[in-house]
Amino acid sequence: MKPKNRVLLAHGFNVRDGGANTLDKLIPHLKRPNTKIKQADYGHLSLAGVAYFNDNLAAMLNGLSEPNDIGIGHSNGCSVLAMAANLGAPFKQLHLINPALKSNFKFPSHLKKIFVYHSKGDLPVKLSTWLRYIPPFKNNKDFIWGQMGATGYTGNDPRVINIDLSSLYLSHSGGFDNQNAPQLAAIIRDKIKRA
């Protein structure tokens, strides 16, 4: 029997463990008989690596994706998923956990639903807005990092649904703490089932 849902996971940039202490903690709680999970582990990147390689990673994810995939990302992984969708990756849904994205990012029209899980205490994404003043990000009009992980989505796209998790956690990766990961995964599972 072919799985009903195929989930593609993309972790953040400052990760040396392939997402073991972040997104991978959701896997045991997301697994269902009708769900196949694929990890797009891309290794550790520095900030310069983000500037120079995110477009290559997005192209890779575009190539890995299949029609009606569900993308789940954290931090820079959200940026890479969004860039892949802009390249045509046929995701039906994106689940963006504390995304390092501009809060009014324009998502491509083929996506059916985008869920943004944010927390007002997310300091790293707030600080990321200052990167536009330093090389190699300075004057880069394509640099899409921003503070969506703290503010939620602030545009007017009705497909985007904000889920404020500030009552659950206040840090950039707090959703992956051992006590929070099962609850975060349950929220995501429910959204996948209903959308």
Confidence of residue 86 (pLDDT cuts 50, 70, 90): very high
- CA dist., res. 34 & res. 65, Å (int): 18
Q: pTM of this prediction?
A: 0.93
- The token pair at 24 is 């991978």
Q: Could you report the per-residue pLDDT of 61-77, keeping only the tens digit for each?
A: 999 999 999 999 999 99
Residue 2: the pLDDT is: 60
Question: DSSP assignment, residue 68?
Answer: T
Helix (H) or strand (E) holding 183: helix 181-194
In the chain, pLDDT over 90 holds for what percent of residues?
A: 65
- The Cα–Cα gap between 147 and 104 comes to 10
Tokens of residue 126, six digits: 């707030």
Structure-token pair, residue 147 = 């503070």
What is the maximal distance between C-alpha atoms in the chain?
51
To the nearest whole number, what is the mean pLDDT of the chain?
90
Residue 21 burial (CB < 10 Å; 0-12/13-18/19+)? middle
Which of 16-20, 76-80, 97-101 shows the lowest mean pLDDT across its residues? 16-20
Which residues 6+ apart lie within 8 Å of 53 measured at CB?
A: 45
Contact 172, 124 (CB under 8 A): yes
Q: Which domains does the chain have, with CATH numbers?
A: 5-194 (3.40.50.1820)
106-161 pLDDT, tens digit per residue, is 999 999 999 999 999 998 898 887 777 777 777 776 778 899 999 999 999 999 99
Helix (H, G, I), strand (E, B) or coil at 47: helix
Residue 162 dihedral angles phi and psi, to the nearest 5°:
-85, 135
For residue 4 the two structure tokens come to 């009903």
Cβ–Cβ under 8 Å, residues 155 and 102: no
